């Protein structure tokens, strides 16, 4: 419509969902569900506000703050806060839209939301970040609560920022409640939460391998290309190594590291990278100062890994949205990639997804099988939901208990996507089900069925 601002990221997310629904039997079997698409694609509430704060020089600074409360049919709004200069309403609407269906796939009682600010924490002192977080939460605290909206961290929002915002909320409201997840484990956080998205991603792709091989294949011995070097990429890499896989790439916004030998990254390398990223430094600094890295990797400035690996079995995009293009999708297939699961939200362009899906249909079990973000990376928000449960119980679960719950959630999510795709799509002999279609349909049906029960549409 001409009176609606152009929102490319949100419109891309909407198109992906709509195309899966329209291309399936869903609206033939349940035609009444089609009317809900126009309702579920509009947020219940969008909050936008200014954030004023002072830097260490006493100079006035102004940023934009947002919270998109997209859908509460299944529970309180749940989704991260992102601090990054690129943050805008289109990105947050796409993330909140995706979050709604992702949260539905976890099986937990959580709605969908997303928020953040165009504030850039890079180059800021701890005191500047603390002042910003208190100023940001001064307004956000009016709109959130443990039974209303429970934010978490995202890009630019780690344990430090979560701590400051939790402290601000507690100060303004004079009450301790599980209003934000990703907290420190000594004051209400859950064990395995930092690891959850990366671990869950590897659990999901492990089920893909097992199903495609009839239970015979695992990650052991596989060459795995991972993008990013933040929380998701680090823990996906560590879980891959634990299961016997070989991590051959990592990257950041300035370039990519590609293994030149058979060894790839080891756990010590990941630990060094984690320390580097905690200090908000780039991979190029580690590559230039560490002789071991120079001898085992090549660094490609300004590049992503996907067109720069000669041989690969599994790809795990774990950096940011639209990080795999149409050409890079073709390059991955040419390099032998058989499985791709997204650790980043909407990690592939629509054109790339069409390449994956065409290859899956054309080459059957020999083609590339695609695991979409809303299913493959739902482990992070799943453990956030488990953190909410622990807060409500005033209890703390063991690492083993949380990890067992996470593994079970990822397994159920995989089978839900798979069986839903089988139910609503006709498949040729030997063709693997479309997990992206299954995820979109399963998430959509669960959300809009709850909305109908609430009288949100009829």
Annotated catalytic residues are 114
Tokens 């969908």, located at residue: 112
The contacts of residue 134 (CB under 8 Å, 6+ apart) are 53, 164, 167, 168, 171
Contact 132, 161 (CB under 8 A): no
170/14 Cα distance (integer angstroms):
36
Contact 20, 101 (CB under 8 A): no
Task: Supply φ then ψ for residue 291, to 5 degrees.
Answer: -65, -30
Which letter does DSSP use for residue 155 in this model?
A: T
Extended strands (E) in 260-327: 297-301, 314-316
Task: Supply φ then ψ for residue 5, to 5 degrees.
Answer: -60, 150
Q: Which two tokens stand for residue 317?
A: 């995009």
Angle between helical axes of 8-22 and 350-363 (0-180°, round to 10): 30
Task: Supply φ then ψ for residue 240, to 5 degrees.
Answer: -60, -45
């Amino acid at each position: 419509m001409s009176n609606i601002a152009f929102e490319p990221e949100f419109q891309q997310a909407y198109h992906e969902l709509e195309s899966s629904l329209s291309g399936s039997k869903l609206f033939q079997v349940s035609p009444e569900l089609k009317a809900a698409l126009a309702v579920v694609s509009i947020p219940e509430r969008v909050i936008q506000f200014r954030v004023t704060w002072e830097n260490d020089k006493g100079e006035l600074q102004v940023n934009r703050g947002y919270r998109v409360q997209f859908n509460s049919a299944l529970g309180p709004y749940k989704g991260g806060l992102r601090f990054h200069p690129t943050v805008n309403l289109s990105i947050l609407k796409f993330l909140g839209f995706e979050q709604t269906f992702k949260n539905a796939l976890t099986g937990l009682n959580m709605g969908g939301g997303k928020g953040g600010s165009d504030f850039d924490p890079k180059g800021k002192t701890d005191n500047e970040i603390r002042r910003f977080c208190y100023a940001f939460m001064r307004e956000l605290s009016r709109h959130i609560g443990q039974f209303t909206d429970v934010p978490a961290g995202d890009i630019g929002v780690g344990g430090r920022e979560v701590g400051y915002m939790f402290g601000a909320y507690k100060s303004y409201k004079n009450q301790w409640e599980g209003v934000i997840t990703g907290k420190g484990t000594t004051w209400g956080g859950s064990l395995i939460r930092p690891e959850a998205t990366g671990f869950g991603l590897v659990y999901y792709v492990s089920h893909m391998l097992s199903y495609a091989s009839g239970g015979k294949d695992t990650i052991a011995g596989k060459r795995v290309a991972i993008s990013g070097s933040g929380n998701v990429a680090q823990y996906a890499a560590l879980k891959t190594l634990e299961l016997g896989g070989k991590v051959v790439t990592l990257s950041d916004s300035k370039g990519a590291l590609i293994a030149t030998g058979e060894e790839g990254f080891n756990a010590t390398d990941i630990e060094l990278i984690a320390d580097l990223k905690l200090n908000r430094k780039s991979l190029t600094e580690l590559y230039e100062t560490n002789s071991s890295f120079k001898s085992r990797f090549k660094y490609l400035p300004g590049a992503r890994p996907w067109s720069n690996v000669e041989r690969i079995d599994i790809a795990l995009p774990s950096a940011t949205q639209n990080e795999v293009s149409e050409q890079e999708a073709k390059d991955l297939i040419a390099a032998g990639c058989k499985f791709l699961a997204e650790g980043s939200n909407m990690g592939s362009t629509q054109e790339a997804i069409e390449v994956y899906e065409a290859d899956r249909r054309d080459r059957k079990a020999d083609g590339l099988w695609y695991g979409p973000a809303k299913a493959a990376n739902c482990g992070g928000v799943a453990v956030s939901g488990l953190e909410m449960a622990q807060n409500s119980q005033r209890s703390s679960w063991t690492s083993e208990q949380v990890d067992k719950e996470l593994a079970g959630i990822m397994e159920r999510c995989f089978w839900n996507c798979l069986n839903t795709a089988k139910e609503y799509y006709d498949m040729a002999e030997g063709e693997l089900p479309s997990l992206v279609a299954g995820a979109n349909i399963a998430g959509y049906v669960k959300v809009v069925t709850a909305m109908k029960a609430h009288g949100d549409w009829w």
